[in-house]
Amino acid sequence: MLSCALRYSRGVYSERLLDHFQNPRNVGELEEADLRVEVSNPICGDILRLTATLAGERIGEVTYRTRGCTASIAVGSALTELLVGKSPPEALAIDRDVIEAAVGGLSNESKHAAVLAVDGIRALVREWRAREAA
């Protein structure tokens, strides 16, 4: 039997978002990561950490850790799936709309999760470009 909280969540969140929340993909940190970034939302307090390996000019593997709400956890999971195999320009093309679509939509109260993910992408690409310039 579903708990009251989960029954309530099903009315607020999409099935895809709940699937990413309940069965998060790519959670953790890569020991041998080429890139490590952390971004936060000072208003809500959510934190997103991304670690990634590079395979040539593309992201090989990416993992995440997040401290935040249901939407932020789910968005982090979806984000890792979106980033694999992307070049810097392709990664930067992942915007809030793409992220929201990946989790089946976000309520107005949860849109901050997509903003945090976009901030994470930008930080990852900045780190990547700084690494290449060094």
* Lookup result for tokens 């971004």: 39
Q: Are strands 35-40 and 47-55 parallel, antiparallel or unpaired?
A: antiparallel
pLDDT at 96: 97
- Output the pTM of the full model: 0.89
What percent of the chain is helix, strand and coil (3-state, nearest 5)? 50, 20, 30
What are the phi and psi torsion angles at 48 (to 5°)? Answer: -125, 125
pLDDT in tens, the chain (134 residues): 343 344 345 567 999 999 999 999 999 999 999 999 999 988 889 999 999 999 999 999 999 999 999 999 999 999 999 999 999 999 999 999 999 999 999 999 999 999 999 999 999 999 999 999 98
